[in-house]
Amino acid sequence: MADLAVNIGTLNFKNPVLTASGTFGYGVEYSDFIDLSRLGGIFVKGTTLNAREGNDYPRMAETSSGMLNAVGLQNKGVQYFISNIYPEIKNIDTNIMVNVSGSTIEDYCVCAEQINELEKIPAIELNISCPNVKQGGMAFGTSAKAAAEVVAAVRRTYNKTLIVKLSPNVTDITEIARAVEAEGADAVSLINTLMGMAIDIERRRPVLSTVTGGLSGACIKPVALRMVWQTARAVKIPVIGMGGISSWQDAVEFILAGATAIEIGTANFIDPTVSMKVIDGIDEYLDRKNIDSVRKLIGSID
Amino acid sequence: MTKKFIADWTVREIIRKNDAFLLRLVLEDENQAFPETLPGQFVQVLVKNSASTYLRRPISIHFVEPEKREIHLLIQITGEGTRQIAKTATGDKLNLICPLGNSFSLPERNDKSPKFFLLIGGGVGAAPLLYLGHRLRKIGYVPDFLLGAYSKENFFDNRPFETVGNLFLTTEDGSAGSKGYVTNHPVLETKTYDFIYTCGPRPMMQAVAQYARKKNIPCEISLENTMACGIGACLCCVEKTVYKGNVCVCTEGPVFNINELLWLI
Ligand SMILES: Cc1cc2nc3c(=O)[nH]c(=O)nc-3n(C[C@H](O)[C@H](O)[C@H](O)COP(=O)(O)OP(=O)(O)OC[C@H]3O[C@@H](n4cnc5c(N)ncnc54)[C@H](O)[C@@H]3O)c2cc1C
Ligand SMILES: Cc1cc2nc3c(=O)[nH]c(=O)nc-3n(C[C@H](O)[C@H](O)[C@H](O)COP(=O)(O)O)c2cc1C
Ligand code: FES
């Protein structure tokens, strides 16, 4: 039994295995399959100031070893979250963190401010990288200047752990990472989905109602791993890695590339118990390698 | 509600006909209680050995034999995923997540006032209706099945339906039953029904819903939206409803009353 605990800023995680926003509902959807309290943490569904209906169906297209989604941040708004969902999930014994999205700086700030009041939510993940909403979202994550502005503004109103989720749909992700680090982000998480597209050749029209969508799943892992490695070398704050992680081996790769913690997304759909297997697998790997703490593994490649 | 679980099921038998097949799956692991399943519920099947099939495939529960710890699936080969599932042989394992989704609504036990239920299925859409009919029969009602297909050969096996209730057929080419679509069948005019359930291609369900609306008969339909998780976590499978906006077909469905859905209005 190696020591699996890691820290992001002042926040302690019992292990580095977290679940990715938008793929894990509010956690409770998985409670029939796993003991949620064994997780290092849960990022709940992207939450916005006002309720959003999301995009029209079809919102999903399967690809080789992956999928495209265009959910479009369907959620009932932060007030609904606070009064109806938070009471149901606040006593799960793990770090429950909220993924915050918006289309204006003002939206992000008000939403973050309201979540700041919730005792059992120790961190937010600022989503400046959603490719599926027309207004904003990714617009903030694709320019260093805009990313810095929104992070600076949220930092003024939010005093707990602030994680900023980066978009891979940029020329140089390290530039954005450095910009948000400079404005006081406690950590960066990456990657969000890669912009993609699928066409139904029989009907001769795009599969997704929004034409383009976000690619996730096993197929994006090499790209994600490369970006995590680059970013971990470019910033001093911790990096949370994700993108296609489907096994403990994948998770160890990300940690070796420099990730302090990892998030599992799409793989939960195929195996709702995958997160437990990843925790156990990392533990056994460390024992086998005689490494007493996962912290010693972070970024330790030659 | 019954707990959802993930487990390997063993193929006891696979029966193939044309491009469809029936799987009799048995839950061998004695530590796993056999689930209580409701008609209309579905399972998520893991597909192995296929690079292009990444996600599980949602398939309705066709029949259940709890004493034998069996679930039956009736599947139409429509693409790579179902083609891979069709390759399984007796003794192979299939990994399922189940039971998923809501249920067709079942009436109270027969209170002697006769009630007539019509179960309309198109193609492999008939799959969930057998178990529904069986459950109606168990509470004292003899259901009518009205099944439609392009041609006689396209029916998989009608005997189980005949054992459970009365069977009416339509075929587009007239090779069995009455010629035309299900909504052209004479029984719709000669008999008065109290409740209609339907599953099949969207245009068929739409026509059935219109009939039900016209005759003022309560009607439930089962949708087959594409799914990723099947457990309400991804919000990919949504359908627009009248009062609640977008809802997940995998958790709030797949069965809906026609009055709930926007597309029928
Ligand atoms: C709740 C539910 C219950 C179902 N029950 C059954 C059942 O009992 N028996 C059965 O045979 N099938 C059932 N289906 C449909 C079945 O899931 C699909 O046929 C299957 O996923 C197709 O997989 P594939 O890899 O073979 O085909 P793919 O290669 O994925 O698709 C082949 C073609 O079919 C189209 N297609 C695939 N899935 C759908 C869909 N859901 N809606 C519209 N078009 C689609 C694709 O666009 C493509 O053109 C059910 C679906 C749902 C959601
Ligand atoms: C259906 C779906 C919905 C998602 N919703 C969100 C979201 O609301 N907010 C967010 O920051 N990321 C969202 N994501 C992105 C994931 O959190 C993750 O960054 C991405 O899927 C890559 O990881 P994976 O390959 O392990 O899934 C979503 C992904 C999927 C597949
Ligand atoms: S398929 Fe994921 S929410 Fe329905």
B65 backbone dihedrals φ, ψ, rounded to 5°: -125, 90
Give residue-wise pLDDT tens across range A219-232: 999 999 999 999 99
pTM of this prediction?
0.96
- Average pLDDT value over all residues in chain B: 95
Q: Which atom of ligand 2 is nearest to the CA of A67?
A: 31
Q: Is residue A1 part of a domain?
A: no
CA–CA separation, B111 and A98 (whole Å)? 51
Task: Answer yes or no: do B232 and A59 touch at CB < 8 A.
Answer: no
Q: With beta carbons less than 8 A apart as the criterion, state whether B77 and B86 touch.
A: yes
Q: Is B246 close to A69, i.e. CB distance below 8 A?
A: no
What would the pLDDT profile of B69-91 be if each residue is shown by its tens digit? 999 999 999 999 999 999 999 99
Of A301, A284, A288, A289, residue with least CA distance to A4 = A284
Q: What is the pLDDT, as a whole number, of residue B265?
A: 47
For residues A70 and A132, is the Cβ–Cβ distance under 8 A? Answer: yes
Q: A301 in a domain, yes or no?
A: no
The predicted pLDDT at position A134 comes to 59
Q: Which residue has the tokens 């989905």?
A: A193
The answer to whether position A103 is within a domain reads yes
Q: Is residue A173 one of the residues assigned to a domain?
A: yes
On the question of pLDDT at A66 being above 50, the answer is yes
Average pLDDT value for residue range A252-262: 98
Segment B7-25, tens digit of pLDDT: 999 999 999 999 999 999 9
Q: Helix, strand, coil: what percent of chain B each, to 5?
A: 25, 35, 40
* pLDDT at residue A259 greater than cutoff 80: yes
The 10s digit of each residue's pLDDT in B159-198 is 999 999 999 999 999 999 999 999 999 999 999 999 999 9
Closest Cα to atom 3 of ligand 3 = B232
Question: Is pLDDT of A302 > 90?
Answer: no
pLDDT band at residue A34 using 50, 70 and 90 as cut-offs: very high
Q: Is the pLDDT of residue B108 over 90?
A: no
pLDDT (mean) for A252-273: 98
The whole-number pLDDT of residue B51 equals 84
Across the range B125-144, mean pLDDT stands at 95
Q: Give the Cβ contact number of residue A161 at 10 Å.
A: 20
Note down the domain range covering A165.
6-296
Q: Which atom of ligand 2 is nearest to the CA of A73?
A: 8
Give residue A6 CA to ligand 3 midpoint distance, Å. 32
Q: For residue range A41-65, what is the model confidence (pLDDT) as tens digits? A: 999 999 999 999 999 999 999 999 9
B94: DSSP letter: E
What's the B59 CA to ligand 3 centre distance in angstroms?
A: 14
Of B192 and A129, which is predicted with more confidence?
A: B192
The total number of structural domains that make up chain A = 1
Q: Is residue A122 pLDDT above 70, yes or no?
A: yes
pLDDT surpasses 90 at B112 = no
Chain A residue set in contact with B, beta carbons under 8 Å: 22-25, 29-30, 32-33, 45, 53-54, 57-60, 62-67, 69, 71, 74, 217-218, 266, 268-273
In a domain, A132, yes or no: yes
- Active-site positions of A read 130
Query: How many Å apart are CA A272 and CA A31, to the nearest integer?
Result: 10
Contact A53 B5 (CB under 8 A): no
**CB of B130 closer than 8 Å to CB of B156:** no
Going from the C-alpha of A1 to that of each of A135, A274, A298, B246, the distances in angstroms are: 47, 19, 18, 45
* Phi, psi angle pair for B202, to nearest 5°: -55, -45
CB of B55 shorter than 6 A to ligand 3: no
End-to-end CA distance of chain A: 25
Which 3 state secondary structure label does DSSP give B169?
A: strand
Task: Read off the pLDDT of residues A139-183 as tens digits, 9 standing for 90 and up.
Answer: 788 899 999 999 999 999 999 999 999 999 999 999 999 999 999
What is the Cα–Cα distance from A93 to A91, expressed in whole angstroms? 6
- As for ligand 2, residues whose beta carbon falls within 6 Å of it are A 20-23, 45-46, 69, 71, 73, 99, 127, 130, 165, 192-193, 216-217, 220, 242-245, 264-267; B 234, 236
pLDDT tens per residue, range B30-68:
999 999 999 999 999 999 988 899 999 999 999 999 999
A302 occurs within a structural domain: no
For residue A79, what is the enclosing H or E element?
Answer: helix A78-80
Closest CA to A68 of B101, B248, B226: B226
**Which amino acid is present at A246?**
S
Q: Which residues of A touch B55 (CB under 8 A)?
A: 62, 67, 269-270
Q: Does A133 score more than 60 pLDDT?
A: yes
Provide the pLDDT for residue A189: 98
B9 in Cβ contact with B92 (< 8 Å): no
Cα–Cα distance for residue pair B217/A248, rounded to 1 Å: 54
**Three-state secondary structure call for residue A96:** strand
Residue A108 within any structural domain of the chain: yes
For B217, the 3-state DSSP assignment is: coil
The 10 Å Cβ neighbour count of residue B91 is 8
pLDDT of residue B113: 73
B222, B237 Cβ separation under 8 angstroms: no
Q: Which of residues 64-123 of B touch A (CB under 8 A)?
A: 97
A67 within domain boundaries? yes
Sheet holding A66-69, edge to edge: A60-63, A66-69, A212-216, A194-197
The whole-number pLDDT of residue A136 equals: 52
The rounded mean pLDDT for chain A is 96
Mean pLDDT of A236-263: 98
Which of ligand 2's atoms lies nearest the C-alpha of A267?
A: 26
Which pLDDT score is estimated for A141? 87
Selection from B29, B35, B76 nearest residue B57 by Cα:
B76
- CA B68, CA B77: separation in Å to the nearest integer? 27
3-state secondary structure A176-238: HHHHHHHCCCCEEEECCCEEEECEECCCCEECCCCCEEEEECHHHHHHHHHHHHHHHHHCCCC
Question: From residue A140, how far is each of A23, A170, B211, B234 by CA, in Å?
Answer: 22, 11, 51, 24
Grade residue B110 by pLDDT with cuts at 50, 70 and 90.
low
Domain containing residue A289: CATH number: 3.20.20.70
